[in-house]
Amino acid sequence: MLKIAVAGASGYAGSEALRLLLAHPGYGKDFEIGSLTGGSNAGNRFGDLVPHLPQLADRVLEDTTRDILVQNDAAILGLPHGVSAALDLPENMYVVDCGADYRLKNESDWDRYYGSEYAGHHTYGIPELPGNRDLIKKSRYIAAPGCFPTGATLAAVPGIAAGLIAPQISVVSVTGVSGAGKKPAVSLLGAETMENARAYNVGKHRHTPEIRQNLQAVVPDNEDVYVTFTPVLAPMKRGILTTVTAPARGSIQDIRKAYEDFCAAEPFLLLLPEGQQPETQSVRGSNMTHIQVEEVDGMVVVTSAIDNLTKGTAGAAVQCLNLMLGWDETAGLPQTGV
């Protein structure tokens, strides 16, 4: 029986990964929950910090160290940026890293948006990207995608890959506050976020090069990709609603057909009926991406909704782990929202 560790277990991403693993059909049969680690919370009883997972309540969080993690066969890392690269985990482990350390292929992009030492890159964890599923199956270390790039990529890729949407896109993503993690910050206090919405990091958000990298991989004829990205913080706990706008290169009928064909082959993509818009409440707690595509005066407008903690983070991690370990890709991942 495999042992799967979760680092950063008391954080939003880590605890969401555990929620999904505990409901996985392989839990107790193919794998058990191994080490649970934390940073400042090491030494604390897990149930005091994460009471909604009673099966693990009496476990005690350990330090996030290489020596502890290597006692497991696999690990999901829900750690701050820069921490996972320093762990230098062995190549015989199966690792899905929810941090940004190994997402970017271009070192100059890393230098510009992160500024710390570049660690390299590993296989990127969106199975729905053309050709990526087979790479994930063969990999031992996966760089799970950022939540914003997940919503934007899955909204834009079907049209761009078909050559029916120009790769000059404007992305606006409205997100819940859990995307910022649990670290205390004045800007995330209830009094600052309730009844309020604000854009932030316009033109310089760290997920911008990740979105561009994903789209560059599928654009026909290696055409240059241009991305403007505006994140907006909204007074909700979880969910991301993304709008992608770009020039059309085909009729709406052809564009919609491209989306129908693309989504039909993917268990976690749903193209909604015409006239029905994605809503974050419809995907809450699920691993689904709801999508709608329309044409307005020669421009394509694609909207998508995901749960930032499930499909945007921990769900993607479990989906990749399923592929790496040869399990059913959908195992433990709900398609139904709460």
pLDDT at 172: 98
How many other CB atoms are found less than 10 A from the CB of residue 115? 8
**Whether the Cβ atoms of residue 181 and residue 147 lie closer than 8 Å to each other:** no
Domain 148-306 homologous superfamily, CATH: Dihydrodipicolinate Reductase; domain 2 (3.30.360.10)
Structure tokens at 221: 């004829």
pLDDT at 194: 84
Of 240, 278, 241, nearest in space to 259 by CA:
278
Same fold, 2-144+313-325 and 148-306: no
Phi then psi for 244, rounded to 5 degrees?
-110, 125
pLDDT at 71: 97
Question: CA 110, 311, 27 angle in degrees (round to 5)?
Answer: 115
pLDDT at 231: 96
Amino acid of residue 8: G
pLDDT at 93: 97
Q: What is the pTM of this model?
A: 0.95
Amino acid of residue 227: V
Query: Helix H segments across 65-181?
Result: 66-69, 83-87, 107-113, 132-137, 147-161
pLDDT at 303: 98
pLDDT at 326: 98
Of 307, 274, 269, 273, nearest in space to 290 by CA:
269
The domain limits of the chain are: 2-144+313-325, 148-306
Task: Kindly list the averaged pLDDT for each block of 10 residues, start to end, along the chain of length 338.
Answer: 97 97 98 95 95 97 97 96 92 96 96 93 97 97 97 98 97 90 79 87 92 96 94 94 98 98 97 97 98 97 98 98 98 96
pLDDT at 39: 86
Class of domain 2-144+313-325: alpha beta
Residues with catalytic annotation?
147
**Whether the Cβ atoms of residue 152 and residue 173 lie closer than 8 Å to each other:** yes
